[in-house]
Amino acid sequence: MSKPPAPPQAELLDRPFSFYPPIGGVENNEWRLREATWSEMVVRNTQSDLEVAIPRQYFAGVSETDKPVMIVGLTQELEYKTGAIWPVKRRMFSMPAPPMMPPPGAKSEPAPGEPQGLGAVLGFGGESTDTRIEKMIAVSFVTLMVIVGLVWALVKFTPETKPSFVAKDQSYLELSKDDDYFAVVRHLGAPGEDRWKSNSGELQYRALVYKDRGYAVILMGTKQDDARYIGAMGLGPDGKGWSPLHSIEFNRGANTMGMLKTLPRF
């Protein structure tokens, strides 16, 4: 295949033109013809006054119109470096060959030290690493089971963690530290039992038992007649329980809950 003839210099004399593709290494792409010989054409850049000689073999045709500018085609990309025009050489990078794949159905033996089992799944290498990972998982599982067992034992055998008995009603919440025997009877009615715990100490306790309600109202005082309300004790579903359901606040932030917890059944 013959090369296209180089453009006649008569068409380019005294006329600006641009190369396509542009010459690399030169910012402005507007040129004028300065001189032409049988082997090359000398062109000058209109902005940088750069003059270069381009062999005629790199010239192609000229555009039919000069609007907005005449275009002179090049047969290949050129660049300006070291004071001359050179053809652009593209570096070619070869792709690595794909790895050889075993034929379908073939199962190769693992190489020595190649990860197997759990190590292969998790991305760890070596039989020793695989063994360490399996041991770590086993230890973690045993530790978890021990923790679960300890929590279960704590819940089962610690009395404070057991669900408290809830009485049939909570009318005792209406009582206050100023209520005596008669005030309690007005709120709750006559008790089923009236017990008095007389000790040698200064304070005495009185229990007004309401079995149908599931609790006993506790009064405290130096005498039976002036005892006042300090809380309620739950009797449990079988009537044999004895645990605090309600306490009151005394002056200066003192509470009767600690007193009720240590009060024996009477």
d(CA 44, CA 29): 10
List, for residues 234-254, the tens digit of each pLDDT value.
998 888 999 999 999 877 678
Q: Produce one character per residue of 127-146: b if its CB has 16 or more CB atoms within 10 Å, e if not.
A: eeebeebeeeeeeeeeeeee
d(CA 221, CA 219): 7
Give me the pLDDT at residue 104, please.
63
d(CA 33, CA 80): 17
Nearest Cα to Cα of residue 79 among 37, 21, 36, 35: 21
Separation of CA 189 from chain center: 61
Helix (H), strand (E) at residue 245 = strand 243-247
List, for residues 129-158, the tens digit of each pLDDT value.
668 888 889 899 999 999 999 998 887 776
Vertex 209, ends 207 and 211: CA angle to 5°?
160
Give me the pLDDT at residue 162, please.
47
Dig out the tokens for 33 from the structure: 């013809």
d(CA 72, CA 55): 14
Give the residue carrying structure tokens 């009767």.
Answer: 256
- Whether 20 and 7 have beta carbons less than 8 Å apart is answered as no
Q: Cis link prior to 98 (omega < 30° from 0)?
A: no
CA distances to 33, 68, 106, 116, 131 from 111, in Å: 71, 70, 15, 10, 17
Q: Which of 92-96, 132-136, 155-159, 164-168 has the lowest mean pLDDT?
A: 164-168
Nearest Cα to Cα of residue 233 among 189, 203, 263, 197: 263
With cut-offs at 50, 70 and 90, classify the pLDDT of residue 123. Answer: low
d(CA 59, CA 50): 19
d(CA 115, CA 264): 68
With cut-offs at 50, 70 and 90, classify the pLDDT of residue 64. Answer: confident
- Asked whether the predicted pLDDT for residue 166 surpasses 70, the reply is no
d(CA 158, CA 153): 8
d(CA 130, CA 122): 9
How would you classify residue 82: left for phi > 0, otherwise alpha for psi between -120 and 50, otherwise beta? left
> Domain ranges in the chain?
9-87, 117-157, 171-261
* Mean pLDDT over the full length of the chain: 82
With cut-offs at 50, 70 and 90, classify the pLDDT of residue 44. Answer: very high
List, for residues 66-75, the tens digit of each pLDDT value.
777 889 989 9
Q: How many helices (H) and strands (E) does the chain have?
A: 5, 13
- Strand-pairing partners, residue 24, are 79
